[in-house]
Amino acid sequence: MANQSYKDQLNQSSDGQSQLQDRTTRYQNYINGQWLESSAGQYGQNRSPHNGELLGEFPASTAEDAKESIKAAKEAFPQWKKTSIQQRAVYLSKAAEILKSRAHEIGRDLSSEEGKTIAEGIGETMRAASILEFYAGEARQAVGQVIPSVNASTMIYTKRIPLGPVGLITSWNFPIAIPTWKMAPALIYGNTVVIKPADLTPKSVYHLVNALHEAGLPKGVVNCVFGRGSIIGPELLQSPDIKAISFTGSNQVGETIKEQAIKTGKKVQLEMGGKNPLVVLKDADIEKAVYIAIKGAFISTGQKCTATSRIIVEEDVYEMFRDRLIERTKSLKLGNPLDAGTFMGPCVSKSQQDTVLTMVEEGRKEATLLYGGTVPEQEELAKGFYVQPAIFEITSQDARIAREEIFGPVVTLLKVTDYNEAVKAANDTLFGLSASVCTNNLSLAQQFVDDIEAGMVHINSETSGAEPQVPFGGVKSSSDGPREQGKTAVEFYTQVKTIYMDQL
């Protein structure tokens, strides 16, 4: 069984549910509507960051596989473009139903490979379903505009035209939500897709693609190639047939993608790093502010580009906030993501754990470590990539831990004299994704909205979180290109055609 290909399994099983339950540990690429072995027959291992358990084997795809996927997406495009938007929506709605009906199983797989808690894994699967539903709903909304002409007899209107095959390169930290929030708008507006999932979390994307497959999506409309970004990425970037690239990941990779994609005239959408501040003003309810800080900084082991990584507190309440934050952080339960009582799971990989530990060492040179930052000693966590949540006290924004994105459970605390100093410190960063303020002072809250350099602002809630129906994205080095999600996604996944219509 273990070596039987997923394709053989599919052919043997009679219904969708048993396909999932009976799956072997080998998964395949999805190209032109078929589950296909990689042309080199090589596989990479998908392992749990909690205990190293083997979760599956996924193709280590070749450039040839990527080319095949691009070809399939190109061939499927003309027909998909002609398919009515209402019909496209039917596939998305069906896929949403499938994800919802399997949310527990998919959530479990997601948490097993990524390390976030099971509640988050199921929640993220439901979020993916909700994103599909939102874009299915867009099929009933007006697209384009009618604009008055200078001539009485001329009608001017605009249409939204799909781009063609688009390439999606996605991150491991929201392994089903991010692929869905790129794929759903791409599809509804008439594009075909080649997706390259993060190699640390392929199973979540497999579930999404499988849901679309079972929903009856025509062949070639979505293609999925698993494996290394260094092999598949260049194919997507260099192919003249791929018209746009949407990427979520590190700034370093994002910048390279931008450079290469622009050379072949592609549209580019990049979601990259964050160093998101939470500002706590003196009038804030400290207990609530601490809770908001903990959720923002440590849920998902801090592995969100929207995570809170800098907390800036007015001096009047600084000590109270700091002491309570340490106290509550000490009580957070680290453990197996699949256990119901766990608050925080492991880092996603050994290399991510090493990065966090290295940054903690760096932090010790420039700041005071108030709590955490060590590998926990419990026997049952010894096989996992765990790090205790770390709280640093800094005296200036210059510390490396306050400037670089760490992507782990590490937060800095800075004491400031007043609101103006708080905003200055909050804006003293290359990034500008999300920011949050805790206050009951309505005028300062409103002023913060205007003063802060961020694409998303939270008042009295944590910096993370993204609802599907609203724009998502940042300013400065955090993002590039049009916003993701909500109605704004149409900006990236279509181009505008202006039509002048006259009578003869």
170 binds ligand UN1 (CB under 6 A): no
Helix axes 63-82, 229-238, angle to 10 degrees: 50
With respect to ligand UN1, which residue has the nearer C-beta, 227 or 254?
254
- 174, 419, 492, 493: which one binds ligand UN1 (CB under 6 A): 174
CB of 177 to ligand UN1, least distance (A): 7
With respect to ligand UN1, which residue has the nearer C-beta, 394 or 466?
466
295 binds ligand UN1 (CB under 6 A): no
CB of 388 to ligand UN1, least distance (A): 22
| Greatest CA separation for the chain | 83
267 binds ligand UN1 (CB under 6 A): no
272 binds ligand UN1 (CB under 6 A): no
Dist. CA 321–CA 308, nearest whole Å = 15
Binding window for ligand UN1 (CB under 6 A); candidates: 138-146, 298-306, 311-319, 339-347: 298-306
Residue 307: closest CA among 385, 404, 411, 400:
411
Residues 117-156 vs ligand UN1: string with x where CB under 6 A? ----------------------------------------
Dist. CA 214–CA 20, nearest whole Å = 12
279 binds ligand UN1 (CB under 6 A): no
- The number of beta carbons lying within 10 Å of the beta carbon of residue 453 is 17
28 binds ligand UN1 (CB under 6 A): no
Q: Are 239 and 196 in contact (CB under 8 A)?
A: no
171 binds ligand UN1 (CB under 6 A): yes
Enclosing H/E stretch for 63:
helix 63-82
305 binds ligand UN1 (CB under 6 A): yes
With respect to ligand UN1, which residue has the nearer C-beta, 61 or 306?
306
CB of 486 to ligand UN1, least distance (A): 13
With respect to ligand UN1, which residue has the nearer C-beta, 102 or 304?
304
- The number of beta carbons lying within 10 Å of the beta carbon of residue 251 is 18
CB of 73 to ligand UN1, least distance (A): 24
Looking at residue 43, what DSSP letter applies?
E
SS3 content of the chain, % helix, strand, coil (to 5): 40, 20, 35
Q: Are 277 and 425 in contact (CB under 8 A)?
A: yes
* Strand intervals (E) in 83-127: none
Residues 448-477 that bind ligand UN1 (CB under 6 A): 464-466
Copy the structure tokens of residue 64.
């040839």
Any idea which residues carry the catalytic annotation? 271, 305
Residue 170's contacts (CB-CB under 8 Å, 6 or more residues apart) are 178, 179, 182, 195, 196, 197, 198, 205, 247, 248, 249
With respect to ligand UN1, which residue has the nearer C-beta, 61 or 171?
171
Q: Total binding residues for ligand UN1 by CB under 6 A?
A: 12
Chain contacts with ligand UN1 (rule: CB under 6 A): 171, 173-174, 178, 248, 271, 304-306, 464-466
